[in-house]
Chain A
C-alpha cells in the first residue's frame, strides 16, 4: 500500500483500523494524522481538510460512533478502533436518510463541509432521534459551513430524523437487509 511517507524508518508503527466496516491497515510514522491516513493511505478523499487549528470540522469522522476531528488525532492513537467516514454512509447505491435529507433540503452548496455535517448529524440522531433546532445547531457548532448559512443544514437533519421516524413506524425488510452488508 502506498503510504504517506515512503521512508519507513524505525519509527513506523503498524496501524490497523476498521473503516466503514472493513479492516484496513498500514505501517506509518506516528506523526501521521488520521486525516492523512484516511485520505492518502486509504484513498478515501471524502474526508476533507479545511484548517490547521482544529476549528472547522471538515475532517470529521466517527470514531466508534462518536464524531471527532481526524486532523487532531494521530492514526496510531486510534489503531484498533472503528472509523466511519462519509463513504460509509450509503448502503450501496441507496442514500442514507441523512444523505437524502441534505439532498432534499438543499443542505449543501460547494459540498466541502457536507461529509462532516452529515456524520455529526448521523451521530446526533443515534442518541437523540428527534432533536430540536437548538440541539441541532449546538451539535454542528464544531463544523463550519461557509456556503449555506446553516438554515438548510438544520432542515436536512430534521428531514433525516423524520425519515428515520417513519422507518421505525413501518420497518422495511429490504432496508434492514441492505444496511447489514456492503
Chain B
C-alpha cells in the first residue's frame, strides 16, 4: 500500500508553518510524527494535496513545569513522557498512559500533539487530557488561542482546530495532593483500547476535592464523565462513593458492539476501571506530596 502523490513542505519555523497553512490550509495536512497520518495516506483514506511536515520545528518538544502548570510541547514524543521519571510523582497518569500507547517503536516517533489533533475516539491522550482538564494552545497567522480540553474534541477525528492552526502545546494544571491512573484493556501490544479510563483526583484532607474522569473507546470521541466527576466532589473515597461514581461513568459511556465485545461488556469495563483507577489515584495522591 502506497500513498497517492502529494506535495511536501517542511517549514523551519512556526511562522513559516502558519503562513503556509494560511495559504493552503484547506488542502493541506499537518504532519507531526506521521504515525497516524502516514498509515492513512498509505490506505489512501487521506489524499491531501500538500503535507506540511512540522516535525523539524524547534522548541515544540519536551515537558516542563511552569507557572503551576505542566507544559507539554505538541511535538513531545510518547516515549519522552513514558521515560520521564519526574512525571512518575508529579503527574503519574502521563507516563502510565504513555506506556500503553501503540508499541515502543511508534512511541519513539509519535507525538502527544499529533495524537490529540488526530482525535481518534480510541486514542489515549484525549481521555487523559479530559481527566486533567488540560488547555490546548493553538497558533495561527492571526495569533494564539487557548481551547479547553472539554471543547477540543468535537467528534470522531474532528477537533476545534481550524485548518490554518497548529497546536503548539498542552497546559496541564498541577495541584498538590493530586494524582491519577490510567487503566487500559487492550488485546495485545499495538492495539487500540477496547476500553480505557483516565482518572485524576485532587485530595483535600481525607476528601476528594476534585475528580476528573476521561473515557476511551466508548463513544464517538473521548468522553468526559461529568456526572461521575461531580458525584465525587467533596466526598470521602469510600467504596460506596467509588461504586456510585463508577456506575455514573458507566452510564455516561456510549459504547458500540464490535469484534472487541458487546456494548454491555464495554460499559461494565468502564465501571471496573473507574473503580480501580479511583482507588489507585487516591492512594497515589495520599502517598505523594
Q: Do A and B bind each other?
A: yes
Given known A-B contacts A11-B8, A31-B3, A77-B53, A72 and B104 have beta carbons under 8 A apart: no
CB of A103 within 8 A of chain B? no
CB of B31 to closest CB in A, whole Å: 8
Residues A66 and B5 in contact, CB atoms below 8 Å apart? no
CB of A54 within 8 A of chain B? yes
CB of A31 to closest CB in B, whole Å: 4
Which of B34, B42, B105 has a CB less than 8 Å from the CB of A142? B105
User: Which chain B residues lie closer than 8 Å to A55 at the CB level?
Assistant: 190
Residues A69 and B8 in contact, CB atoms below 8 Å apart? no
Give bound CA distance, A68 to B38, whole Å: 13
Residues B39 and A72 in contact, CB atoms below 8 Å apart? yes
Chain A positions within 8 Å of B, measured between CB atoms, are 11, 13, 29-31, 33, 36, 52-55, 57, 60, 63, 66-69, 71-74, 76-77, 120, 138-143
21 contacts between A and B (CB under 8 A): A11-B7, A30-B7, A31-B2, A31-B6, A33-B3, A54-B39, A57-B103, A63-B109, A66-B108, A67-B104, A67-B108, A72-B34, A72-B35, A72-B109, A74-B34, A74-B38, A77-B10, A139-B104, A141-B104, A141-B189, A142-B189
Given known A-B contacts A52-B1, A55-B190, A72-B39, A13 and B105 have beta carbons under 8 A apart: no
CB of B122 to closest CB in A, whole Å: 14
Residues B51 and A30 in contact, CB atoms below 8 Å apart? yes
Give bound CA distance, A66 to B35, whole Å: 15
User: Which chain B residues lie closer than 8 Å to A53 at the CB level?
Assistant: 39
Chain A binding site: helix, strand, loop or mixed by DSSP?
mixed
Residues B106 and A142 in contact, CB atoms below 8 Å apart? yes
CB of B79 to closest CB in A, whole Å: 8
Give bound CA distance, A53 to B106, whole Å: 11
Residues B105 and A120 in contact, CB atoms below 8 Å apart? yes
Q: Mark B1-25, 1 if CB is under 8 A from A, else 0.
A: 1111111101000000000000000
CB of B55 within 8 A of chain A? yes
CB of A54 to closest CB in B, whole Å: 5
User: Which chain B residues lie closer than 8 Å to A76 at the CB level?
Assistant: 8, 10, 53
CB of B43 within 8 A of chain A? yes
CB of A163 to closest CB in B, whole Å: 23
CB of A38 to closest CB in B, whole Å: 15
User: Which chain A residues lie closer than 8 Å to B105 at the CB level?
Assistant: 57, 60, 67-69, 120, 142-143
Residues A30 and B8 in contact, CB atoms below 8 Å apart? yes
CB of B41 within 8 A of chain A? yes
User: Which chain B residues lie closer than 8 Å to A74 at the CB level?
Assistant: 8, 34, 38, 51, 53
